[in-house]
Amino acid sequence: MMSTVDESYAAVDLGSNSFHMIVANWMDGRLQIIDRMKEMVRLASGLNDKQELSEESMQQALECLQRFGQRIREIPRSNVRAVGTNTLRQARNGAVFLAQAQQALGHPIEVIAGREEARLIYSGVAHSLYDEVNKRLVVDIGGGSTELIIGRGYDTYCTESLYMGCVNMGQRFFEDGKIKAKKMRKAVLFAMQELESMESAYKRLGWDQALGSSGTILTIRDVVQGQGWCESGISLSALTRLTETLIAVGDSALLDFPGLSERRKPVFASGVAILQGVFEILGIENMSLSEGALREGLLYDLIGRIHNEDIREKTITALAQQYNVDMEQANRIRQTAENFFQQVGHDWSLDQKNDLKLLVWGALIHEIGLSVAHNQYHRHGAYLTANSDLAGFSRQEQAQLALLVRSHRRKFPREEFETVAASTRDSIIRLSILLRLAVVLHRSRSNSDLPEIRLGVNQNRMQLDFPADWLDKHPLTLVDLSTEQGFLQAAGWELSFA
C-alpha cells in the first residue's frame, strides 16, 4: 500500500467480554496507533436461557458505545469499521440491539462469522509481529469463542472458531465463583473435547511457533511472569502451576495477583482452563505473545479496502473458480449491470463504491448454483453464498450478496428482502433489478455486443430504450423482456421498453 496522506481510522470490536476501540493515523504507508479505549462490558453474561440479551446488558453496552462514538465523531464514516463477534452471532434479539447500538456509536456495526473473526485476528497478529519464515499457530481466547489459526506471513492455512470463551465457560463451570479441582479438570477436558475435531489436521500441518493474543492470554502472561514462574511468554509448567494455585485459592473473589484486574477475576479460571486444554491437546510447551489482535486486523482490512487491496475481490474470484463459473458470461453480465448502474445510480441514490461492488460481485457469482443443479439454480447459489466462509465479508454482506443471487431470475422474491435492514433494503432491491435486466439481455450467452441501451428510472418505474428496430430483429429478447415485465409488475415495479 502506497500513501502519503495522513488519514485517521478507527476500529471497534464488540467482543463477548470486552468492547475495544483503537484509533490510528495512516501516514506514508504506516499505521500509527494514537488512542485505545477498552471497557469490560461482558455482553455474553447477559444472554439468558433463550439466547436473548437482557435489558441491563444491552443498556451497559449502549452507554459504552456512546462514549466510543463521541471519541470518533470527527472521523469520516468510511474510515470507521465496527464488528460484533460471538455473542451477537448467538443473540436471538441481536437485530434489536444492533439497531440501537448503531445509533449510539454513530456508525454501522457488522456481525462477522467465527472464521472471519479468526482471519482478522491473524491479520492483526501478523501485522504486529511480521514473520515470513516461520509457520505460526495463533490462539485467541475471547469471551464467547476461541480462535485458532495457522499461517505464515500474512497468509492463513487453517482458521477455526470454537464456541467456548471465558464468559460462557465461566457460567458453565464456575458460576458460583468456586474453583475446585474437579471443576477445573472438567473444564479443561471440555475444552480438549471441543478441540478434538481439529487436533489431527492442525498437528499434521504443524507450526514453528505458538502465539497468544487478546486479554485473557495477555493477563495469564502478566500473572505467571509476575509470580516469577517463567521469564518470557507462557510455559506449560508455569500454566500448570497457575492452575494448581487457582485450585488452592479456591474462590475467584479471593484471587490476588499483580496484573489481574478486579473485573477479570470472575472469568479468569475459565480462561486458564481453556488455555490449559489448548496446551495439552496440541502439545504446546511455550507460547509467545502478540499485542495485535482483532481490532488491529480490522484496521488493516479497512485500510486495504480503501487503498484497493480488498480481500473480498480475491474471495469472489476464488468462489467463482471453485464452482466452475462461466466467466465469459459472468463478465458480460457484470459489464451490462455496471453500465446500467452508472446510468441510474444517482436517481436511485445508490452508493458509487459499496453498492457498485456488491452488484459486480453478484454478477460474477450469480451462476454458482449451476454446480448443484440447473433446476432452481438461483436458490442453490443463494444457499452456497449465504453459508460459505467468505473471507472479508460480514454476515450482513453475505446475506445481501445471497439475495442478489437468489433474485436474479424467475419470480421476484419481494418478501425475502424483509430480512435485510430497512436502511439498505431499497438499495439491494434496486441492485437486484439491475442484475435481472442484465441477465435477461444476455440469456442467449452470445459473444455479440449489445447495442447502446438507455435505462431511465423514476422511483418504481423503468424505461429501457433500444436502437430502432433492434427488438424486432431479436424476438426472443423481446419475449424475455415481456416475461420479466410480468415478474416485476407482480412485485410492484413497472418496466417499459421500446
Cα angle vertex 348, ends 480, 97, to 5°?
110
Same domain? For 425 and 317 the reply is yes
Tens digit of each residue's pLDDT (9 = 90 or more) over 183-226: 999 999 999 999 999 999 999 999 999 999 999 999 999 999 99
| Residue 79 forms part of a structural domain | yes
Whether the predicted model's global pTM rises above the 0.85 cut? yes
| Residue 487 forms part of a structural domain | no
Same domain? For 281 and 135 the reply is yes
Same domain? For 249 and 382 the reply is no
Check which CATH number belongs to the domain holding 262 and give it: 3.30.420.150
Give the strands of the sheet with 209-213, arranged side by side: 155-162, 146-152, 135-141, 209-213, 286-290, 234-235
Same domain? For 205 and 269 the reply is yes
The identity of residue 262, as a single letter, is E
Same domain? For 266 and 328 the reply is no
- Looking at per-residue pLDDT, the higher value among 115 and 7 belongs to 115
Same domain? For 325 and 277 the reply is no
Same domain? For 319 and 345 the reply is yes
Q: Which residues, at least 6 apart from 152, have a Cβ–Cβ distance to it below 8 Å? A: 131, 132, 133, 134, 135, 136
Residues 82 and 12 sit within 8 Å (Cβ to Cβ): yes
Same domain? For 143 and 246 the reply is yes
Q: How confident is the model at residue 7 (pLDDT cuts 50, 70, 90)?
A: confident
pLDDT above 60: residue 5: no
DSSP 402-418: HHHHHTSSSS--GGGGG
Same domain? For 261 and 193 the reply is yes
Tens digit of each residue's pLDDT (9 = 90 or more) over 120-151: 999 999 999 989 999 999 999 999 999 999 99
Tens digit of each residue's pLDDT (9 = 90 or more) over 400-447: 999 999 999 999 999 999 988 888 999 999 999 999 999 999 999 999
By percentage, how much of the chain surpasses pLDDT 90? Answer: 94
1: helix, coil or strand? coil
Domain count, the chain: 3
Q: Which residue has the cell 436502511?
A: 423
In which domain, by residue range, is 335 found?
A: 310-448
pLDDT at 108: 94
Cell of 118: 479468526
Q: How confident is the model at residue 3 (pLDDT cuts 50, 70, 90)?
A: very low
| Residue 74 forms part of a structural domain | yes
| Sign of the torsion angle spanned by Cα atoms 341, 480, 469, 447 | positive
Same domain? For 279 and 335 the reply is no
Q: How confident is the model at residue 307 (pLDDT cuts 50, 70, 90)?
A: confident
| Residue 109 forms part of a structural domain | yes
pLDDT above 80: residue 6: no
Same domain? For 222 and 274 the reply is yes
Q: At what angle do helices 311-322 and 294-306 cross, to 10 degrees?
A: 90
pLDDT at 419: 87
Backbone φ and ψ for 240, nearest 5 degrees, come out as -65, -40
Mean per-residue pLDDT over the chain, rounded: 95
| Residue 59 forms part of a structural domain | yes
| Residue 139 forms part of a structural domain | yes
Could you say which DSSP state residue 450 is in?
A: P
